Chain A
Amino acid sequence: MPDTSTCQQYLPLKVSHVSYQVHTDLLLDNVNLEFNDLKRSIILGHNGAGKSLLLKLLHGVIQPTQGQITWHKQTPNTQQYWRSLLLQKPSFFARSVRYNIEFVLNLAGIAKAQQANLCDEALNVCGLVNIADRKTHLLSGGEAQKLSLARAWVLKPAILLMDEPTVALDPPSVISFENIIHEFKQAHTKIIITTHDLAQAKRMADEIVFVHNGKILEHSPAENFFQQPHTDTAQKFISGEL
């Protein structure tokens, strides 16, 4: 896995005056954001706040209609394999778990000779060894998300972006998933997750970015956010009124 210095070479992530508009709908409005370190960052907000959109912009899946995003001066594009994005609803080829991991290795141009070892390691870390040859349409929701994580792990990304990865999982699966994410943290991977789940945000966050109606209302250490939010909207969200 990447060491701290490797991760740092892609930071800071700077989001400058970014907006995203579809026809007349302004879905993200003048977003300014900066991530400098390896803290686990949680992008928090209710459904439709613009969290997923922001994450896809950070990865380069879509382009902002205004403003600029840079990862250490590089504009994001999805073929920067030092960064991985886990979608809320991942999709897989209707083949084995192992095939789907090897597909990613082929994409990144990893030599065939190295692929088996890397694949085995990812299967092991994500607890998929016993179902490596299982077809993906037979996977449970939790196993599918673990496969999604394995697909990220195998490329040893310096940055891991996750879009509400546990939203459809039961509590034991969520805990199991978070344990794997902890492995990424241990390996000094910068982690950015979107969620609307307050409990998960409290468990995992080092810092919180609070998004509401396409605007960033707060960006602060997790402890401060949960104890003394600066805005009424954040206070209402924490108390469950929003």
Chain B
Amino acid sequence: MQDISGALVTALQLILQLEPDLVEIVTLSLQVSISAVLIAALISIPLGTLLGTYKFRGHGLICGILNTLMGLPPVVVGLALYLFLSRSGPLGDLNLLFTSTAMIIAQCILVTPIIASLTQQTIHDLFQCHKEQFKALGAPVHHTLIPLVWDARNSLVTAVLAGFGRASAEVGAVLIVGGNINHITRVMTTTIALETSKGNLELAMALGIILLMISFSITSVMIFISNRTP
């Protein structure tokens, strides 16, 4: 109990003092997670929309794979990406290992199946509601995609937020491909893991509380914006 109250006090102190190291870690965390989620959303919302409206050979297989990938173990993604980006790997020449770009790629791989699967299900359900009407109106499917995505925007915001939750809470993959290097690739989750291993539980919990507050703030802002959209 003392730990928790101490953590709360430490968290408040850290926030109020705006300690440069903390600001740097928080900023990098947000940069990595928001970039990963934006890139993943740009890939997965169109992909999920197409999968939700068109049927083709192998459609079920792709949806099944996407659903399976929703539960991808982060350390496996981290390890696979490490092998690709290491000097002896196929992408070694890009020198991306232990950079924030590698962390963005790792998070993007983890988040894309989540947003794509949730988008596919949302758009599929909506499309089924309108399917007969679209046919009666003589509306080809490609004409209906943008209005359908617009109508589903609140659910899609939820899907993106689910992806952001996964990205911001992720530690295994970013630790492997980022290396948790101070001032370069150190983010909130890897710092929490590090401080816990050093026995700085108050600081680790304080960082955890800040991470929760950031997630809550971003989620609230996105939901507020999506609800205000006409």
Complex Cα distance A91/B131, Å?
Answer: 9
Stretch in contact with the other chain, from B13-21, B67-75, B134-142, B163-171: B134-142
Decide if B137 touches A78 in the complex (CB within 8 Å). Answer: yes
Majority SS at the chain A contact face? loop
* Residues of chain A lying within 8 A (CB to CB) of residue B130: 91
Q: What per-residue 1/0 map shows which CB atoms of A147-161 lie under 8 Å from chain B?
A: 000010000000000
Contact status A95-B137, CB under 8 Å: no
Count residues on chain B whose CB falls below 8 Å from chain A CBs.
14
Question: For the complex, what is the distance from the CA of A78 to the CA of B137, rounded to whole Å?
Answer: 7
Contact status B147-A79, CB under 8 Å: no
The smallest beta-carbon distance between A68 and chain B, in angstroms, is 20
With a cutoff of 8 Å between Cβ atoms, the chain B residues found around residue A107 in the complex are 137-139, 143
Answer whether residue A71 sits at the interface, using C-beta atoms and an 8 A cutoff.
no
In the bound complex, what is the Cα–Cα distance between A199 and B173 (angstroms)?
Answer: 71
Contacts of A90 in B (CB 8 A): 133
Q: In whole angstroms, what is the CA distance A91 to B140 when docked?
A: 16
Considering only residues 98-123 of chain A, those with a C-beta below 8 Å from chain B are 103-104, 106-107
By the criterion CB–CB under 8 Å, are B136 and A61 in contact? yes
A10 is an interface residue with CB less than 8 A from chain B = no
A79 in complex: contacting residue of B133, B138, B150, CB < 8 Å: B138
Query: Whole-angstrom distance between the alpha carbons of A92 and B138 in the complex?
Result: 14
- Determine if B151 is an interface residue (Cβ-Cβ < 8 Å): yes
- Among the stretches A43-51, A80-88, A212-220, the one at the interface with B is A80-88
A79 to B143, CA, bound (A): 13
Q: Which residues on the A side are within 8 Å of B137 (C-beta)?
A: 78, 104, 107, 151
A94 at interface by CB-CB < 8 Å: yes
B136 touches A93 (CB 8 A): no
Task: Say yes or no: B138 contacts A106, CB within 8 Å.
Answer: no
| Contact sample, A vs B, 5 pairs, CB 8 Å cutoff | A61-B135, A78-B138, A87-B133, A94-B151, A95-B151
**Chain A residues within 8 Å of B, Cβ to Cβ:** 56, 59, 61, 77-81, 85-87, 90-95, 103-104, 106-107, 151
